[in-house]
């Protein structure tokens, strides 16, 4: 297999390997392998808007929300968690 494996698409791969000797008569055996694909953080967050803006008075001491940023990440948890 000479391609990129993406955890979000495939979590398990099963391959079968066959080994054959060069004897006469030839003997062979097969074995299946179960491969667990692990996740990495390979997707960047996608923001709801390309630009966010907020405004506050520099002397204001009250705690307040200035702006809210929304984004999603196509990776599965925990890599998909956006903080």
Prediction pTM value:
0.54
The percent helix, strand, coil of the chain (3-state, each to 5) is 0, 25, 75
Average pLDDT value for residue range 26-46: 92
Domain assignment present for 57: yes
Domain assignment present for 58: yes
Q: Is the pLDDT of residue 75 over 80?
A: yes
Residue whose C-alpha is closest to residue 36's, from 17, 8, 10, 74? 10
Q: Is the pLDDT of residue 1 over 80?
A: no
When divided into structural domains, the chain yields a total of: 1
Domain assignment present for 35: yes
Task: Give the pLDDT score at 52.
Answer: 92
Q: Largest Cα–Cα distance in the chain?
A: 90
Residue in the structure block whose two tokens are 């702006």: 67
Domain assignment present for 47: yes
pLDDT in tens, 14-35: 999 999 999 999 999 999 999 9
Domain assignment present for 20: yes
Domain assignment present for 80: no
Domain assignment present for 79: no
Q: Which domain holds residue 66?
A: 12-72
């Amino acid at each position: 297999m000479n391609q990129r494996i993406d955890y979000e698409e495939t979590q398990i791969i099963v391959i079968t390997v066959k080994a054959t000797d060069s004897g006469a008569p030839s003997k062979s055996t097969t074995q299946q392998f179960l491969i667990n694909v692990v996740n990495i953080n390979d997707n960047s967050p996608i923001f709801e808007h390309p630009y966010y803006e907020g405004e506050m008075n520099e002397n204001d001491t009250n705690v307040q929300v200035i702006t809210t940023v929304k984004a999603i990440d196509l990776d599965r948890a925990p890599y998909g968690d956006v903080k």
